[in-house]
């Protein structure tokens, strides 16, 4: 019988329970001290009291607006609230990349569908839980409001199938061992006098407002710089 570790953040105690006994409200976390994993109540997770990073600019700031738009009816937060939360994370790029994966999966599974708001919220909760807690434990941590258990299982099966492929539909999954990413070296430094807002508009025009990877962002920066040099 498969078991999981439950950690009580209020008492500091842990226990093992059968995986099938997981309940809605639990999320899996990785402890920085030893790399161990456990399920905790999401309500017990508290953000850092102070900012750990400076304000976002350029494309990263645009991504905050993208999150606000994509999740508007299922996990409503303003772009400023998204940025505020990320700036309090110790490893904010790990969290940004995870949420970019959730956004991509949510677009993938809702595009062209006439889901109601409640159904879309169920889809979001399923994707978030499965990407956070793993495909097997994910559904046990979701309380369905509109979708049936059979529909939820179908979504999970599609995630499992598509995650095993290498095509564009592959669903990104969080990697708790991924090292911290410093966003600054990932993009070539701007030319003197470069307007970050102008570059942000350039990225939006080239990508139709869709999210971009760091490699794509680097190429867009190089293209933008080259155009500015040619215009001189």
What whole-number distance in Å separates Cα of residue 103 and Cα of residue 212? 12
Q: What pLDDT shows up at residue 28?
A: 87
Q: What pLDDT shows up at residue 30?
A: 81
Q: What pLDDT shows up at residue 155?
A: 94
Sequence-distant (≥ 6) Cβ neighbours of residue 209 within 8 angstroms: 62, 66
Domain boundaries, the chain: 1-45, 47-177, 184-231
What whole-number distance in Å separates Cα of residue 223 and Cα of residue 16? 53
What does the pLDDT average to over 117-138? 93
Q: What pLDDT shows up at residue 84?
A: 94
Burial of residue 35 (CB within 10 Å: 0-12, 13-18, 19+) is exposed
Q: Check residue 170 and report its DSSP letter.
A: P
Per-residue pLDDT band for 44 (boundaries 50, 70, 90) equals confident
Burial of residue 135 (CB within 10 Å: 0-12, 13-18, 19+) is middle
Task: Report if pTM > 0.75.
Answer: no
Does position 170 have pLDDT exceeding 80, yes or no? Answer: no
What does the pLDDT average to over 5-13? 89
Does position 81 have pLDDT exceeding 90, yes or no? Answer: yes
């Amino acid at each position: 019988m498969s078991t999981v570790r439950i950690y009580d953040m209020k008492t500091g105690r842990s226990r093992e329970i059968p995986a099938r006994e997981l309940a809605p409200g639990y999320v899996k976390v990785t402890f920085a001290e030893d790399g161990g994993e456990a399920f905790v109540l999401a309500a017990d997770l508290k953000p850092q009291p102070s900012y750990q990073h400076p304000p976002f600019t350029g494309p990263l700031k645009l991504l905050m607006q993208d999150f606000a738009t994509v999740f508007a009816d299922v996990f409503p937060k303003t772009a400023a609230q998204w940025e505020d939360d990320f700036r309090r994370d110790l490893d904010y790029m790990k969290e940004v990349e995870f949420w970019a994966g959730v956004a991509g999966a949510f677009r993938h599974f809702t595009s062209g569908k006439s889901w109601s708001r409640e159904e879309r919220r169920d889809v979001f909760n399923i994707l978030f839980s499965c990407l956070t807690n793993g495909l097997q434990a994910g559904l046990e941590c979701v309380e369905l409001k509109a979708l049936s258990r059979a529909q939820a299982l179908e979504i999970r099966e599609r995630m499992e199938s598509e995650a095993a492929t290498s095509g564009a539909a592959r669903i990104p999954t969080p990697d708790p061992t991924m090292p911290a990413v410093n966003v600054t070296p990932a993009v070539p430094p701007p030319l003197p006098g470069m307007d970050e807002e102008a570059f942000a508009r350039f990225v939006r025009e080239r990508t139709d407002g869709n999210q971009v990877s760091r490699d794509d962002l680097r190429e867009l920066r190089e293209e933008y710089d080259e155009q500015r040099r040619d215009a001189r």
